[in-house]
Amino acid sequence: MATLSALESALLSLSPAPKEASSLVQQACSADASLVLTSEFAQSLFHVKRDEAGTVSLGVRFGQAGDYDERDLLAVGVAALHGFAQINWTGPTLALDPLTLFPAEEVEGLSATQLNEAAIDSLSYCGEPVYHLAKSATLLAIALQIFGLVPSPFDPSAPSPLLPSLSNPHGPAWSTTPSIKAWRLRAGIVWIKVLDEPVPLPAYVAADAAALRTSLPLSSPDRSHLSLSLSLLASLLSRSSPHSQAQREASTLARAAAEEEGLEWELTGRMGKRTKWQVDEKTQLVVLARDRSVQKGKGKEEEEQKQSTVTDSAQAQVPEVLELNDDTLLERTAFTVSGDTTQSTPAAAASESTPLSDIDPSDQPHISPFSQSVLLALSLSTLPQPTSLMHLSADVLSTSQVASFVSRVLIDPQNWSVHSMALLLRCRAEAGRSRTVERGVLQMQALVDQLKDGSPTEVSAISSAVKAEDMASPRDRLSQFHALALPPWWELERELATRYASLGITKSSLEIFTRLEMWEEVAKCWMSLERPDKGIEVIRDLLEGGKAESDLVMDVRKGEGAMRFRGGEKREAKLWCTLGELEREPKHYEKAWIVSGRTSSRAQRSLGAVYWSNQEWEKARKAFRLALGINPLFPRTWFVLGCCEMRLQDWAGAQEAFGRCVALEDDDAESWSNLASCHLRRGEVEGDVDAEADLDLDAVEGGVDSTGVVGTGTPIEDDEDAAVKLPFSRKRAAFHCLKMAIKNSYDSWRMWYNYMIVAVDVGEMSEACRALGRIIEMRVAKDGETAIDLEVLERLVDAVTKPLETDDEDSEQQHVDPNCGKGLLPRLERLITVTILPNVSNSPRVFLAHARLFLWQGDYAGALDAHLKAYRAGVAADPTVEHDRAKFVEACTKVEDVVGMLENLGPKEDKEGKEIAKDWKFQARSLVRTFLGRTKGAFEDEPEYEKLKELVAELR
């Protein structure tokens, strides 16, 4: 069972190190990255080498086990990681020349830029490049090698970074340092944040961290802190993926972290005013929170500390908070202080019994900075569906919920990084309201300004609005860094530029994107200005070397005057893809694939899209599989690959593709529907031992239509017979897939229809009944009787009325089965009486089905009435019986049938003991005479006519 030393705990929390710790560990705990990285031990580890072609490689030479203290090595890795984070995330500027970290003879003739270029090249992963202007990337490369995420170039026996070993990761063995598993996860999250697109970390990283969390003894003092820290880290890792399944997992993990931290929180409503001129109080959303880890005995002292930090923002050492200064909205919601007023609403009365009901929303208790980090992680966990951080303004309720969490954090300033994240979330939440959008943009500009001193690539602690002495120390900034989803400085500026573009300030947006050298966004800005030619010109100048700028550097490997891209060939490939999209030229994608060394996922995705539009299914399939083999986190690419497989009738391949799609986006109704179609199309048994049954596949709608959209109701074409043998397990799997489809596409009658057909086939009659009712509700107003699938309705009646071949012992169980007999009866009766009959009154088959139901229940009066209604809606209302012989012959049979029902049911007694129809003979004679009168002119000489005349004589 793993145990953490006090030293490891201090490094994880950046708390003061034990006295017996080495100077390196103490400096790492104090966030003095420069002192650690320039130490004699650290410089003995760092090396650079150049091959014959001039390629620069940097890394760590670990030496033999026992040559160093693992704790010192861990301190060096932590310092490198935190140094990189300080330079690119939190500030202040780290006065450190990367060249001084390596032996002078090894870096002779190299510049800091070349060294950074080599590190950026080595950090590319799954075909995705690192942002080319990231500063001091050498520190991240060193940290990843020390923690064992990537191999060192000085250890040729290390396995490939794409296939890491769970039991023997890269780097040293770390036999006495279990916390390395937590540091791998931390470093991995930082790594994927600097990549262009999200990619999955090696599976062993999260698995090892989870194992560490569960292996700590329950009595360990480190268990609580490390466990919740790892829970929040795992939540951030899931949050980094934009897919719905990962977002839900992130929400679950964030709630687990809150529980482990002892954080009591509640999103509720309290009476208050939101505007300056508001007269009546309304219920306002508020987050109430209390930290159980805060000792009650220190309440008075903490209250005084909180009041001090609130009244003096400079002492809190947090970023500047801009005021709203609106003529209508209040700066903060003015909640009602009186307890009597809060009880005036049902919501308040309901909340009275909660553990947090005694908290005043305007004066909440002090909580720790980590608890504030958990609250920010929870800010998106309360949403009904995953919502992008960048698009909160699209949902008013989402905006209000996030704003409530943020307000709870902002009223209690504790930590620089936590406060920065809260302000950023508030900026995003305010982007969609006219009265707050200006403050939101200005606040984001202030967050950007505090991290730069005039150059977009230089990070400084000094803001134009905040004095240097008022800024938080690196240790305070980094203490909560790993618990937050803070973006790096370039992503923050990109978001600011995007905000400007959304407000129509395209010129300022263009300037920022140009300064950040984000040329794809620059091209989009020119397109929004209706100058696409300028965007193409910019990209072409870059690719042809006609544009001299900071991201083009001399390439000594290609000779004097040759140019190469900062960020390597992968970034050049990205520009070729951008040019291909602008010029709609497929050959640019092929060029990108070659330039990238056949590692550009985007190039193959773009080529696949071109082949798909040209209906070259085989080529499209090959391209998509190449792209997804490099980076599989693209659900829409999996979806279109599945469509290609369906076109090629490779149902096994299509099933795999749609299965991967729903694994990433489990709310994708079309993928679920197509996955069901794949199960139904696969005719092989594959070891299934269940009974097989016929299924009419043409009755199940789904597949690829002419526009490439799948699951919209177009029947799948098949050269074989429609009725094929399918194992029951496949039909059952299709049923569950369609259940997920209707869950996520509740208003699609086509998906409900597919669900109904398969439900009938697998014996889920209760669900088929529900589906038929839903279809009728959606279609009956427009389509009338055609909205009712009469065959399914009759199958449902059969399920109720036809007895099963069971023993007497099982008869009771038969009655409670929701899919047959009395178990299905209430739902079917409700379907007919509430949904069908009020909307459809001219369908003979509906009335006949209802009559069978009445007859099975012993309600003879109802059965007779339903038969008469069926006759009136059918024969009596059909004018074709008067001139169409076939219709006439069919109608004669129906006349005889209804007379037979009158003869059989009329004399019977109802529940009150009265005869159902005393004049049943009179009714029967009248019905037959009326029919004979209608058809006498056309069919008087027909034998059927004569037979009905004889029937009238018998009824006298």
- The candidate with the shortest Cα–Cα distance to 915, out of 870, 861, 951, 837, is 861
Amino acid letter, residue 73: L
Supply the pLDDT for residue 568: 64
- Which residues are CB-neighbours of 375 under 8 A, at least 6 positions away? 258, 263, 265, 287, 289, 367, 405, 408, 409
Q: Which two tokens stand for residue 112?
A: 């800091």
Q: Which two tokens stand for residue 743?
A: 């869950």
User: Over 481-547, what HEC string results?
Assistant: HHHCCCCCHHHHHHHHHHHHHHCCCHHHHHHHHHHCCCHHHHHHHHHHCCCHHHHHHHHHHHHHCCC
Count CB-CB contacts under 10 A for residue 546.
11
- The candidate with the shortest Cα–Cα distance to 549, out of 224, 200, 839, 132, is 132
> Cα separations (Å) of 779 from 504, 795, 828, 839, 931?
43, 20, 19, 11, 34
End-to-end Cα distance, the chain: 97
- The candidate with the shortest Cα–Cα distance to 159, out of 204, 117, 127, is 204
CA distance 270 to 281: 10
CA 72 to chain CA centroid, nearest Å: 40
CATH superfamily label, 567-632: Tetratricopeptide repeat domain (1.25.40.10)
Strand (E) positions, 181-225? none
Q: Are 266 and 347 in contact (CB under 8 A)?
A: no
- Which residues are CB-neighbours of 936 under 8 A, at least 6 positions away? 945
pLDDT tens by residue, 233-253: 888 888 877 677 777 888 888
Q: What angle is formed at CA 916 by the lines to CA 913 and CA 920, rounded to 5 degrees? A: 145
- Which residues are CB-neighbours of 111 under 8 A, at least 6 positions away? 99
Where do runs of H (alpha helix) occur along 614-727? 617-630, 635-647, 651-664, 669-681
CA distance 99 to 106: 10
CA distance 549 to 158: 38
Residue 715 phi, psi dihedral angles, 5° rounding = -60, 145
CA distance 367 to 294: 7
Q: Which two tokens stand for residue 805?
A: 């071949």
- Which residues are CB-neighbours of 689 under 8 A, at least 6 positions away? none
Q: Where are the domains of the chain?
A: 6-216, 249-296+315-485, 487-555, 567-632, 634-736, 866-956
- The candidate with the shortest Cα–Cα distance to 124, out of 638, 554, 603, 596, is 596
Count CB-CB contacts under 10 A for residue 332.
14
**DSSP 3-state of 898:** helix
**Given this structure, which CATH class describes domain 634-736?**
mainly alpha
Helix (H) and strand (E) counts for the chain? 42, 9
CA distance 823 to 357: 45
CA distance 359 to 286: 11
Element (H, E) at 70: helix 70-85
- Which residues are CB-neighbours of 653 under 8 A, at least 6 positions away? 621, 642, 645
Q: Are 176 and 187 in contact (CB under 8 A)?
A: no
Q: Which two tokens stand for residue 150?
A: 């990537």
CA distance 136 to 612: 42
Residue 285 phi, psi dihedral angles, 5° rounding = -70, 140
Residue 196 phi, psi dihedral angles, 5° rounding = -65, -40
What are the 10-residue block averages of pLDDT along the chain, 956 residues in total? 77 88 92 93 91 85 74 94 94 87 90 90 88 93 92 64 45 79 93 89 86 71 65 83 77 85 88 89 90 55 44 60 87 75 41 72 89 89 48 61 91 91 90 86 89 44 45 87 92 92 90 91 90 90 66 38 56 89 92 91 94 94 94 92 94 94 90 93 54 45 41 39 62 93 93 94 94 94 90 94 59 67 92 92 92 92 92 91 92 92 87 82 91 89 90 85
- The candidate with the shortest Cα–Cα distance to 49, out of 101, 102, 96, is 102
Q: Which two tokens stand for residue 448?
A: 């950007």
Count CB-CB contacts under 10 A for residue 299.
12
Q: Are 683 and 726 in contact (CB under 8 A)?
A: yes
| 567-632 and 634-736 have identical folds | yes
- Which residues are CB-neighbours of 280 under 8 A, at least 6 positions away? none
> Counting beta carbons within 10 angstroms of the beta carbon of residue 405, is it exposed (0 to 12), middle (13 to 18) or buried (19 or more)?
buried
Tokens 């390196």 label which residue?
A: 24
Q: Are 245 and 663 in contact (CB under 8 A)?
A: yes
Count Cα neighbours of 785 within 13 Å in the Cβ-side half-sphere: 11
- Which residues are CB-neighbours of 427 under 8 A, at least 6 positions away? 440, 441, 443, 444, 447, 499
Peptide bond into 92 cis (omega under 30): yes
Supply the pLDDT for residue 258: 85
